[in-house]
Chain A
Amino acid sequence: MNTSLRNFVLISAVPVLLGIALAAGLAWPRTVNSEPAAKEAVKGSAPKWAKVSVDLPVSQVAFPPGNGSVIANAYCLICHSAGMVLRQPPLTQDEWTVEINKMRNAFGAPLPADQVEALAKYLRSINGQSPKGPSAVDGQAS
Chain B
Amino acid sequence: MSRINLSRSPMSRRGFLGRMGGAGLLGLFGTSAWPAMAGTLELPFVNGRRDLATNFPQKAAMILQRTRPPLLETPFEVFDQGVFTPNDRFYVRWHLANIPTEVDPATFRLNIRGHVGQPIQLTLDELVRDFKPFEIAAVNQCSGNSRGFFNPRVPGGEWANGAMGNALWRGVRLKDVLDRAGVKAGALQVRFNGLDTGVVPQTPDFMKSLDIDHARDGEVMIAYAMNGALLPLLNGFPLRLVVPGWYATYWVKMLNDIEVLDKPDDNFWTSKAYLIPDTPFANIVPGQKDVKMVPINRMLPRSFFTNVHDGAVLKIGQTTIVRGIAFGGDTGLAKVLFSADSGSHWQEARLGADHGKYSFRQWEVPMRLSSSGPHKWMIKAVNSAGSAQPDHVNWNGAGFMRNVIESVSVQAA
A39 partner, pick from B82, B228, B232, B400, beta carbons under 8 A = B228
Closest to B86 in A: A33
Closest to B98 in A: A79
Cβ of B214 within 8 Å of any chain A Cβ, yes or no, is no
Cβ of A58 within 8 Å of any chain B Cβ, yes or no, is yes
Closest to A87 in B: B158
Contacts A33-B87, A34-B168, A140-B398 given; does A52 touch B198 at CB 8 Å? no
Pair B154/A49 contact, Cβ less than 8 Å: no
Closest to A6 in B: B49
Pair A136/B55 contact, Cβ less than 8 Å: no
Contacts A51-B103, A51-B106, A108-B202 given; does A13 touch B56 at CB 8 Å? no
Cβ of A47 within 8 Å of any chain B Cβ, yes or no, is yes
Closest to B12 in A: A35
Pair B67/A34 contact, Cβ less than 8 Å: no
Pair B199/A79 contact, Cβ less than 8 Å: yes
Q: What secondary structure prevails in chain A residues at the interface with B?
A: loop
A33 partner, pick from B55, B88, B150, beta carbons under 8 A = B88
Closest CB-CB distance, A78 to chain B, in whole Å?
6
Q: Report A33-58 residues with CB < 8 Å from chain B CB.
A: 33-36, 38-43, 46-58
Which chain A positions have C-beta within 8 A of B3? Answer: 21, 25-26
Pair B51/A135 contact, Cβ less than 8 Å: no
Q: Report B119-146 residues with CB < 8 Å from chain A CB.
A: 124-125, 128-129, 143-144
Closest CB-CB distance, A86 to chain B, in whole Å?
8
Pair B101/A56 contact, Cβ less than 8 Å: yes
Pair B57/A24 contact, Cβ less than 8 Å: yes
Contacts A36-B13, A79-B203, A136-B287 given; does A141 touch B124 at CB 8 Å? no
Cβ of B185 within 8 Å of any chain A Cβ, yes or no, is no
Pair A32/B199 contact, Cβ less than 8 Å: no
Pair A31/B125 contact, Cβ less than 8 Å: no
Cβ of A70 within 8 Å of any chain B Cβ, yes or no, is no
Which chain B positions have C-beta within 8 A of A49? Answer: 105-106, 124-125, 230, 238
Interface centre among A31, A78, A127 (most CB of B within 10 A): A31
A138 to B39, CA, bound (A): 34
Cβ of B117 within 8 Å of any chain A Cβ, yes or no, is no
Closest CB-CB distance, B268 to chain A, in whole Å?
7
Which chain B positions have C-beta within 8 A of A134? Answer: 286-287
Contacts A83-B64, A140-B273 given; does A24 touch B55 at CB 8 Å? yes
A79 to B67, CA, bound (A): 11
A30 to B55, CA, bound (A): 11
Contacts A106-B268, A138-B398 given; does A84 touch B200 at CB 8 Å? no
Contacts A14-B39, A84-B71, A90-B46 given; does A136 touch B397 at CB 8 Å? yes
Pair B58/A54 contact, Cβ less than 8 Å: yes
Interface centre among A17, A26, A33, A41 (most CB of B within 10 A): A33
Closest to A17 in B: B1
B128 partner, pick from A33, A38, A46, A107, beta carbons under 8 A = A46
Q: Report B138-194 residues with CB < 8 Å from chain A CB.
A: 143-144, 150, 152-158, 167-168, 170
Which chain B positions have C-beta within 8 A of A18? Answer: 1-2
Pair B56/A57 contact, Cβ less than 8 Å: yes
Which chain A positions have C-beta within 8 A of B45? Answer: 89
Contacts A35-B13, A56-B101 given; does A21 touch B233 at CB 8 Å? no
Closest to A20 in B: B55
Cβ of B327 within 8 Å of any chain A Cβ, yes or no, is no
Which chain A positions have C-beta within 8 A of B201? Answer: 108
Closest CB-CB distance, B94 to chain A, in whole Å?
10
Across chains A and B, which 10 residue pairs bring their CB atoms closest together, nearest first? A108-B202, A138-B397, A39-B228, A34-B227, A134-B287, A54-B57, A89-B153, A49-B105, A59-B67, A32-B229
Given A21-B55, A32-B229, A137-B155, 18 more pairs with CB closer than 8 A: A18-B2, A25-B3, A34-B87, A34-B167, A36-B13, A38-B228, A39-B227, A42-B228, A54-B102, A55-B101, A78-B200, A79-B199, A88-B158, A89-B158, A107-B202, A108-B200, A137-B154, A138-B154
Chain A residues engaging chain B, CB cutoff 8 angstroms:
1, 6, 10, 13-14, 17-18, 20-22, 24-26, 28-36, 38-43, 46-59, 61, 78-81, 83-84, 87-91, 95, 99, 106-110, 127, 133-138, 140-142
Chain B residues engaging chain A, CB cutoff 8 angstroms:
1-3, 12-13, 39-40, 45-47, 49-51, 53-58, 60, 64-71, 82, 84-88, 97, 99, 101-106, 124-125, 128-129, 143-144, 150, 152-158, 167-168, 170, 198-204, 224-230, 232-233, 237-238, 249, 268, 272-275, 286-287, 397-400
A-B CB contact pairs (8 Å), 16 listed: A10-B40, A21-B53, A31-B229, A46-B125, A51-B106, A52-B102, A56-B70, A79-B199, A87-B47, A89-B46, A89-B154, A95-B155, A106-B273, A137-B155, A142-B398, A142-B400
